Structure 1
Amino acid sequence: MFKNITRLVWILSLVSMFADIASEILYPIIPVYLQNIGFSIFLIGVLEGLAEATAGLSKGYFGNWSDRVGKRMPFVRVGYLLSALSKPMMAVFIYPIWIFFSRTIDRLGKGFRTAPRDALLSGEATLKTKGQVFSFHRGWDTLGAVFGPALALLFLYFYPGQLRWLFYIAFVPGIISVGITYFIKEKPLPTKKQISSPGFFSFFKYWKIASPTYKRLIVGLIAFALFNSSDMLLLLKVNEATGSENNVLTVYIFYNFIYAVAAFPLGLLADHIGIKKIFLFGLILFSGIYFGMAEAGNNTLFYVLFGIYGIYMAATEGISKAWVASLVKNEEVGTAMGLFVALQSIALMVASAFAGLLWTFYGASVTFLLTAIMSILVFLFMLFFVPKTKNKMEHPQ
């Protein structure tokens, strides 16, 4: 089953798992913590949106830079280090401007590492195995989102209400993830090395030379991201309906467990029946989930919806990256992937701010219903206008 999973993919998967433990100890409790120190739901949406936009633009920049210098690991290591350092900062600095700064440092770390790491994963896969390689990595990454909240839940059981200490605890697995990166020996890329850094927005130039299929795919993915707001709003819905931080954590753990278990099997299936089919299946699930979230009000329904949400994520998150990577050359993956995730993060910023505003004035139900309706329109666009992947790469003429 794992014959196509190389040593490098295993190591990167472990690195991501420990980094995600660090992040996910905090992720479910951040919205509650922010509300406790005076953030409104709208301001939380803006915070997450700006943090994601910072990550997105830097993903494009550092992905492009890693292509130019022909190296990936320096960017990967710095990225994981910045994210680890940002964790205790949110406990030390509690004023809004400093919270924004801390979240930005965390997302900047993600910007450093994401596209170069995804390029490393792409280089370890063939066109017929990209789905399973990206999904395998995604599954292990998501295991961190099972262990992290579980640790938070255990800690809060013994020390209820002591949210700030979790930010210090999260620093430990973050540093472990950095240490594991030193077990990777990078292979040089077959490219002319350009030591100087590119212009910050130079990765946008890739759009001019990208293939038509790549462009159509990116348009569909970004249109979807424009209405796919931060998952924190889903967690706020659970907290609002149940009034329990522990419910938020247990539902979130359950969701990530389903996600982690389903990721690799769906990646294997995508390699056999087609990436597009699995991704469209995920979009159908997403629409149903948001229609359900609009009316959800009890724990049982939240577990059902978040379980389906885990399957949706397994069918789209790693799969979408495999789809993008299958359309470009290995020496261009950093830039191509960086452009995709940059545009995606900017769209998520808009989506999160808009959803937070909509929630403030019209409530959660309207917010989730609009998202569900727009996802159906994206499904139709992807179905009719984005070609399925082929057995060989498509390159611009």
Structure 2
Amino acid sequence: MKEKLTSSNSKKNVFALGSVSFFTDLSSEMVLSLLPTFIISLPGSNPAILGFIEGIAEALSYSMRAISGFFSDKIGKRKNLVLGGYALSNIIKPFFGVVNNAFGALIIRVLDRVGKGIRTSPRDALICDSIPEKNRGVAFGIHRTLDQAGAIVGPILASILLIIFGFTAREVFWFSIIPGLVALVILIFFVKDETCKKQSEFTFLRGLKNLLKGKFLWLLAIVSIFSLGAFNFSFILLYGSDVGINNQYIPLLFALVNIAHVAIAIPAGIISDKIGREKMLFIGYLIFLAVALTIVIEPASYFVALIISIMYGLYQGICNTVTRAMIPKYVKPNLVGTAYGIFYLVSGFSFLLANIIVGSLWNNLGSNLAAVYSLFLTISSLIGFAIFIKMKKIS
């Protein structure tokens, strides 16, 4: 009876965290669906500056994931860090409404992403604490689906506010605080900390020594190579703007990305639990390869913008779900939070370079050559991943 109750409470935790993510993403995607074109419209801005802002913001976000993951293992508590991160992001985002230059956009974007960085590793570790290893693919799929459901509603709501109610982009930014506050209420009252062993003698460097070896190190190397070429969603929306889609409808393009993301998240988790998460992640990388290849070989058009949006959503849905569920497999239970942190740190600095390089190539040489750069690194990572899967099968 006790085990049944514990299982029930654990499931409630996953759904409560999913609900927090739903309302946070509803708030965030209202803003993010308008942000690339908003930043480009600011005085002196261009795709290279957009890439720089996104790269810096993501790198700092991923750095904070490493630090917060370490501290969540150190103190044996997750919820307070999760709450602090969600609070920072949900309170700061509406202030895009007063931004008048690229530097102001950088400051708000960085603070928003730092909030995400603070919460992500402890939140993922809390999900792992709540669910047995054999069910984590499904658990992360459920969480990701709720998260991305908010990401669908947010852009659609943004377009409704723009088209029907005549809101400006800045007014949409201010409106986003409402679902953000709902997320914080759910987190405070319905998410419970799961008991995990406090690492009183744990040190960060010792944790690194224990983590950076064997298959986990291989996995980090493969992901970092891939991430060096993996541009973020902003360039998908920028592509739509470049082919002539009206800014009022760009959020709907982002909604399409997120619909594909939601559609694949739970199936990807279930399939990964059956065929292996490594194979499923390999498929996700192949889909990103198809996105870059389509940009290179197909003439720019509305139709291509729709197709690459769907494919990009499928890639994100698979990779975000499967990667998070796969990491605990390669580390000891007392290092899960730190492992997530180190993984995000390596990925983040790779994404920093990726967005800066892709933004510069996009601005100076066009989207095709930017996509060629991504193609080269994606193919390289797929070769390394194929070797990794083969080695795993032999061992």
Counterpart CA distance in 1 for 2:374 and 2:205 is 28
Provide the alpha-carbon RMSD of the alignment: 2.2
Moved more, 289-298 or 67-76: 289-298
Structure 1 unaligned spans of 5+: none
Deviation at 1:203, TM superposition (A): 4.5
Q: Tell me by how many angstroms 1:160 deviates.
A: 4.7
CA, structure 1 residues 131+306, in 2 after alignment: closer, same or farther (shift >3 Å)? same
SS in structure 1 at match of 2:387? helix
Residue 131 of structure 1: how far off its partner (Å): 1.5
Structure 1 299/20 Cα, relative in aligned 2: closer, same or farther at 3 Å?
Answer: same
Determine whether 1:299 maps to 2:302. yes
Match of 1:209 in 2: 210
* Structure 1 partner of 2:83: 77
Residue correspondence of structure 1 range 354-373 to structure 2 within 5 A: 354-373=357-376
Contact 1:83 1:105 in 2 (8 A): yes
Find the counterpart in structure 2 of residue 345 from structure 1: 348
Q: Deviations over 1:295-326 (max 9, x none)?
A: 35222232222222222222211101111122
Q: For residue 42 of structure 1, what is the amino acid of its counterpart?
A: A
2:100 is matched with which residue?
94
Partners of 2:287 and 2:71 lie apart in 1 by: 36
Larger CA deviation: 326-335 vs 56-65: 326-335
Structure 1 residue runs of 4 or more that deviate by more than 3 Å after TM superposition: 2-5, 202-207, 386-390
- Equivalent position of 1:184 in the other structure: 191
Identity percentage of aligned residues: 26
When the two structures are superposed, what TM-score results if normalisation uses the length of structure 2? 0.92
Q: Which amino acid aligns with 2:341?
A: G
Is residue 267 of structure 2 the alignment partner of residue 265 of structure 1?
A: yes
Deviation at 1:82, TM superposition (A): 0.2
Q: 1:95 to 1:362 in 2, by over 3 A?
A: closer
**Contact 2:236–2:309, Cα closer than 8 Å, also in 1:** no
Q: How far apart in 1 are the matches of 2:106 and 2:234? A: 16
What's the CA shift for 1:216? 0.5
Rounded to whole Å, the distance in 2 between the matches of 1:176 and 1:249 is: 22
Looking at structure 1, the residues matched to 353 and 145 of structure 2 have their Cα atoms a distance apart, in angstroms, of 28
Asked if 1:139 is matched to 2:142, the reply is no
Single out whichever of 203-212 and 79-88 deviates more from structure 2: 203-212
Corresponding residue number in structure 2 for 1:119? 125
- The correspondence of residues 1-397 of structure 1 with structure 2, limited to 5 A, is 6-38=11-43, 39-160=45-166, 162-182=168-188, 183-193=190-200, 203=204, 206-210=207-211, 211-294=213-296, 295-386=298-389
TM-score normalised by length of structure 1: 0.91
Kindly indicate whether the alpha-carbon contact (under 8 Å) linking 2:207 and 2:335 is maintained by their aligned counterparts in 1: no
Q: One-letter code of the match for 2:373?
A: L
Q: What's the offset of the Cα at 1:116?
A: 0.1
How far the C-alpha of 1:74 sits from its partner, in A, is 0.3
Q: Deviations over 1:244-284 (max 9, x none)?
A: 11342222211211211210011001001111111111111
Q: Mark the runs of 5 or more structure 2 residues left unpaired by the alignment.
A: 1-6
Instruction: State how many pairs are aligned.
Output: 384
**For the residues of structure 2 that align with 1:18 and 1:76, how far apart are their CA atoms?**
15
8 Å CA contact 2:230–2:374 kept in 1: the answer is yes
Shift of 1:3: 9.3
Q: Deviations over 1:365-394 (max 9, x none)?
A: 11012212321111110111256879xxx9
Cα deviation for residue 332 of structure 1 reads: 1.4
Partner letter of residue 20 of structure 1? D
Contact in 2 for aligned 1:296/1:302 (Cα 8 Å): no
Instruction: State the Cα distance separating 1:159 from its structure 2 match.
Output: 4.5
Report what 2:3 is aligned to: none
Does structure 1 conserve the Cα–Cα contact (< 8 Å) formed by 2:228 and 2:377?
no
Report how far residue 129 of structure 1 moved.
Answer: 1.8
| Change in 2 beyond 3 A, CA 1:3/1:298 | farther
Greater alpha carbon shift after TM alignment, 305-314 vs 363-372: 305-314
